[in-house]
Amino acid sequence: MSDQQALRAEMVNICRRMNSSGINQGTAGNLSVRLAKGFLITPSGLPCDTMTPQDIVEMDFDGTYVGRRPSSEWRFHRDILKARDDVDVVLHCHSIYATTLACHHRSIPSFHYMTGVAGGTDIRCAQYATFGTQALSDNALVALKDRKACLLGQHGQISLGKTMETALWLAIEVESLSRMYVQALTLGEPPVLSDEEMARVLEQMRRMSYGLGPEAEGSNDVPRPRTAR
């Protein structure tokens, strides 16, 4: 199996896990992965359950493609990958609680320290624009500045990663944080952690590579199991 075939198969697997995890449904949501030249992206209007590796679309950054018609959201996938050399995967879904907040144009503040997994003191909500448009892509890039995730006004969420696993992990975490925030709001606006505390949280996450993938044995002050004596 070639490297690209393996990527295509993994994309289908991740899409199905998006559905099984509850963050996606039906034909909503899409996924892209950087190639040496261009990127792979999921096709338009095809349910994850029936998608095959051959259905994945290869696109160039000039907007040309080979195969099926690409996701209607190809513009923000292209523009994010062009603008962000620190990420190789863009994942978009309409998870329920993140979309609930997005429908009210609410960003997620640092009500919980895990907000820091998106790279800053909050998870911003991008201004609304019609799906599939350049305006939506432009708004998403603004909301994602110095961040690895954002909400899209009256639409859904975007999560980024170096790998498909980390992007999926982050999308599920954004949905979990959204659910906690929605529930916390029923008791009133929750207190937020200070910028100073969030700076400590972000440094701790950076030092521990928190959420970025498996840690090397013995790294980042992680305790190691004792060898047999």
Active-site entry in 10, 73, 173, 175? 73
73 in catalytic set: yes
Find tokens 């997994």 and name the residue.
117
Of the candidates 44, 52, 8, which has an alpha carbon nearest to the alpha carbon of residue 28? 44
3-state DSSP call for residue 208?
helix
Helix/strand/coil for 66: strand
Spatial distance between the Cα atoms of 44 and 49, rounded to a whole number of angstroms:
14
Please give the structure tokens belonging to residue 181.
């925030």
Dig out the tokens for 102 from the structure: 């997005």
Cα separation, 114 vs 163, whole angstroms: 20
Neighbour count for residue 139 (Cβ, 10 Å): 21
Helix (H, G, I), strand (E, B) or coil at 72: coil
List residues with catalytic annotation.
73
